[in-house]
């Protein structure tokens, strides 16, 4: 029973946990319900981690990508450079095995696959890409070629 009155149907809440509100589905009860629970389990798993959070910054020396992948080992993440200067970062977080005697109270951690692709600029050194993982953050560094300053040649004007 909720300690806070609900104005949105059967939304449950807990005064001691401000983040405990369930997802309210305005179409709940309709024959074409879009509730997350109606999705196949594979779709629920994939949508949860499909958008791994990535920061991309450019320094004078390189393009640096930082990807949040908490709980993943480096063996569970793949970094590839494809033809056409495409950087692809992918991985998968396995779903925790359920024991028959377990009673789950809350499942918020996502599982499933993720895939992100980025078109690298012309000045990227594709043969020198490096990746490192530390404390759940994958850092991919793509060095940049030195920009050569255009030589300016003075032309004498005759006449």
Share of the chain above pLDDT 90, in %: 40
The pLDDT mean for the chain works out to 76
Residue pair 45/126 in contact (Cβ under 8 Å)? The answer is no
- pLDDT (tens digit per residue) in 115-139: 999 999 999 999 999 999 999 999 9
**Helices first, then strands: H and E counts in the chain:** 1, 7
Q: How far apart are the first and last CA of the chain?
A: 97
Q: Evaluate if residue 19 carries a pLDDT over 70.
A: no
Pairwise pLDDT comparison (96 vs 146), residue with the higher score? 146
- pLDDT (tens digit per residue) in 76-103: 999 999 987 999 999 988 877 777 788 8
Residue 96 has what pLDDT? 74
Q: How far apart are CA 140 and CA 118, in angstroms?
A: 12
Task: Tell which residue, 140, 118, 120, 125, has the closest CA to residue 67.
Answer: 140
- pLDDT (tens digit per residue) in 112-121: 889 999 999 9
The full 3-state SS of 39-75, as one line of letters, equals CCHHHHHHHHHCCCCEEEEECCCEEEEEEECCCCCHH
Q: How far apart are CA 143 and CA 133, in angstroms?
A: 18
State the average pLDDT over residues 31-40: 49
């Amino acid at each position: 029973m909720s300690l806070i009155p609900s104005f949105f149907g059967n939304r449950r809440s807990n005064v001691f946990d401000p983040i405990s509100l369930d997802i309210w589905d305005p179409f709940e009860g309709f024959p074409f319900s879009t509730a997350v629970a109606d999705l196949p389990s594979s779709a629920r798993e994939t949508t949860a981690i499909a958008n791994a959070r990535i920061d991309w910054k450019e320094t004078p020396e390189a393009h640096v990508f930082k990807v949040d992948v908490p709980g993943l080992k480096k063996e569970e993440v793949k970094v590839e450079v494809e033809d056409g200067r495409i950087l692809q970062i992918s991985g998968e977080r396995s779903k925790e095995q359920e024991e028959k005697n377990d009673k789950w109270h809350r499942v918020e951690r996502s599982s499933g696959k993720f895939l992100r692709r980025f078109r690298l600029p012309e000045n990227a050194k594709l043969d020198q890409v490096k990746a490192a993982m530390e404390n759940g953050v994958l850092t991919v560094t793509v060095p940049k070629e030195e920009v050569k300053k255009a030589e300016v040649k003075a032309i004498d004007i005759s006449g």
